[in-house]
Amino acid sequence: MRSETTTLHADLAIIGTGLSGMSAALFAVNRGLSTVLIGSGSPMNFASGLMDLMGVWPSSKEWDDPWAGIARVRKEIPGHPYATISDDSINQAFTELIAFLKVQGLDYRRSARRNVNIITSLGTIKKSYLVPATMWNGMLAFENQSPSLIVDFSGMKLFSACQIASTLSEQWPGLSSVRLEFPNTSHLEEVYPEHLARALDVPENRKRLADLLRPHLKTHAYVGFPAVLGTSAPGETVSELEALLERPVFEIPTPPVSVPGIRLHQALIRGFEKHERLHFVPDMAKKVTSLSGKGFSVTAGNDGRRCHVRSQGVLLCTGRFLGRGLIAERAGIREALLGLPVTQPESRQMWHHSTLFHPKGHPVNRAGILVDPLFRPLMQSSAPYAEQLHAAGSILAHSDWTRMKCGSGVAVATAHAAVTAFDQGM
Ligand SMILES: Cc1cc2nc3c(=O)[nH]c(=O)nc-3n(C[C@H](O)[C@H](O)[C@H](O)COP(=O)(O)OP(=O)(O)OC[C@H]3O[C@@H](n4cnc5c(N)ncnc54)[C@H](O)[C@@H]3O)c2cc1C
């Protein structure tokens, strides 16, 4: 087998292609930094596409105003990643991301100071901050209690319009449901969101779907669909369905694999594709070496295809257990690439409470890397590991994002803060 080795030089090497790594790449190129982004695959394809900023803290206190929630977190969890980032910086990070996605044809919407109420596939209401524009009408329909019809499709798993309508019946009496056979799928036992989304990229299929649905429409002011309304240009699919059905439509997030998550990932990839300051290395980083004050050497790939990156700084965005930035072992939790110290419960027995839904959450979900205000990982001595090694995203300690509903907010805001710190330190 022939082996191929390349060497790249950059200001910043970003490791990890989840939301934190990809938004960091955007912030870096926007600041004129030559950037290498290293990683293969992305958990973003499984994510709902919603971007939460701060939803719940403490215990079951739900925040309508995410900024008030963040202010409380800053006071009560001094090590939380939000503790050293100002509201203005968080806001700027999102503004930059929204503008970039818009150019790629993916519209996101938010309300200045309020979380948005989003209907889930379980028929519950979830608070989020920044939502795909295709879901916005769902929030309006819910808040105005408008008579609405939720649609699902035969053979689609884990999404039941009937369940949504019956779970929400007390809060939203004018909600009803219908199950349709998606055009051209009568021969299939199961249908999958990505396939339906791709089918709806074809205008003829949108017309067929509207024809099937029209007889079920009565006084409904809105129509809600599972989030399958097209792949790369969902706004176009939504507009056309709205014209065909003569009323506003909206999407409801589905469980993974999620089309809005795939859209988000693809929009970022599209935007980076021809960017002159960004080089993408589609492999896992295997080794990071600090060259004693002269930057870093990162090796990615395997024997068949190897890439050496020489960079002034490194930004670690390798995620938690799912991304394998953190590894859970019998002896404890370790950071996978550099062996950085991981803040964690004293023993494995203390990782979880005995009740699954313990109001304080499980201590293992707060484990992670401690950083200084410049987002540089700290050693046991509390000194930074290296001047220009930074970390961002879910690998950071003290943010139990699934529980606090702050996953994407932490990913985007810390990526912005870390890139800004690196840029200013250059
Ligand atoms: C199923 C699911 C649903 C979600 N729903 C929501 C939601 O509703 N709202 C919300 O706000 N957030 C949601 N999120 C979470 C949000 O996406 C997280 O904030 C995000 O996953 C954290 O991003 P991250 O980039 O820090 O880490 P990750 O997403 O874990 O990404 C880390 C990346 O680093 C890569 N990596 C690890 N080691 C290496 C290496 N050595 N070399 C190269 N690459 C490496 C991994 O392969 C991975 O691609 C969801 C996530 C998932 C998975």
Query: Could you give the dihedral angle defined by the CA atoms of residues 160, 162, 165 and 170, in that order, rounded to the nearest 10 degrees?
Result: -120
Residue 19 and residue 265: Cα distance in Å, rounded? 8
Integer CA distances (angstroms), 81 to 3, 373, 382, in order: 41, 9, 16
Report the 10 Å Cβ neighbour count for 41: 12
Q: What is the model's pTM?
A: 0.96
Distance from Cα 323 to the centre of ligand 1, integer Å: 6
For the chain, the residue count is: 426
User: The domain 4-105+263-425 belongs to what CATH superfamily?
Assistant: FAD/NAD(P)-binding domain (3.50.50.60)
* 24 contacts 14 by C-beta, under 8 angstroms: yes
Concatenated DSSP letters of 35-48: EEEE-SS-GGGGS-
Concatenated DSSP letters of 85-151: S-HHHHHHHHHHHHHHHHHTT--EEE-SS-PEEEE-TTS-EEEESEEEGGGHHHHHHHHTT--EEEE
Residue 62 and residue 69: Cα distance in Å, rounded? 8
Extract the tokens encoding 263.
Answer: 């859209």
- First-to-last alpha carbon distance for the chain, in angstroms, is 41
In tens digits, the chain (426 residues) has pLDDT values of 667 899 999 999 999 999 999 999 999 999 999 999 999 988 898 999 999 999 999 888 899 999 999 999 999 999 999 999 999 999 999 999 999 999 999 999 999 899 999 999 999 999 999 999 999 999 999 999 999 999 999 999 999 999 999 999 999 999 999 999 999 999 999 999 999 999 999 999 999 999 999 999 999 999 999 999 999 899 999 999 999 999 999 999 999 989 999 999 999 999 998 899 999 999 999 999 999 878 999 999 988 899 999 999 999 999 999 999 999 999 999 999 999 999 999 999 999 998 888 878 899 999 999 999 999 999 999 999 999 999 999 999 999 999 999 999 999 999 999 999 999 998
Residue 419 and residue 116: Cα distance in Å, rounded? 28
pLDDT at 274: 81
pLDDT at 2: 66
Q: Tokens 């939460």 correspond to what residue?
A: 52
Distance from Cα 411 to the centre of ligand 1, integer Å: 8
Q: Give strand pairing partners of 13.
A: 36, 314
Is 319 close to ligand 1, i.e. is its CB under 6 Å away?
yes
Region for residue 167 given its phi and psi (left: phi exceeds 0; alpha: psi -120 to 50; beta: otherwise): alpha
Q: Sign of dihedral through CA atoms 201, 206, 253, 138?
A: positive
Is 42 close to ligand 1, i.e. is its CB under 6 Å away?
yes
Is 322 close to ligand 1, i.e. is its CB under 6 Å away?
yes
Region for residue 59 given its phi and psi (left: phi exceeds 0; alpha: psi -120 to 50; beta: otherwise): left
Reduced DSSP (H G I as helix, E B as strand, rest coil) percent helix, strand, coil of the chain, to 5: 35, 25, 40
CATH class of the structural domain 121-252: alpha beta
Residue 273 and residue 289: Cα distance in Å, rounded? 28
Residue nearest to atom 50 of ligand 1 (CA): 47
Is 261 close to ligand 1, i.e. is its CB under 6 Å away?
no
Is 327 close to ligand 1, i.e. is its CB under 6 Å away?
no
Residue nearest to atom 29 of ligand 1 (CA): 18
- Rg over CA atoms, the chain: 23
For residue 114, give the nearest of 47, 57, 68, 71 by alpha carbon. Answer: 68
Is 406 close to ligand 1, i.e. is its CB under 6 Å away?
no
* Spacing of C-alpha 309 from chain mean position: 27
pLDDT at 256: 92
Report the 10 Å Cβ neighbour count for 202: 13
Q: Give strand pairing partners of 314.
A: 13, 389
Domain range summary for the chain, segments of one domain joined by +: 4-105+263-425, 121-252
Residue 23 and residue 303: Cα distance in Å, rounded? 29
Distance from Cα 42 to the centre of ligand 1, integer Å: 7
Extract the tokens encoding 150.
Answer: 């939720």
Extract the tokens encoding 383.
Answer: 């000194």
pLDDT at 1: 60
Distance from Cα 294 to the centre of ligand 1, integer Å: 30
Residue 267 and residue 28: Cα distance in Å, rounded? 17
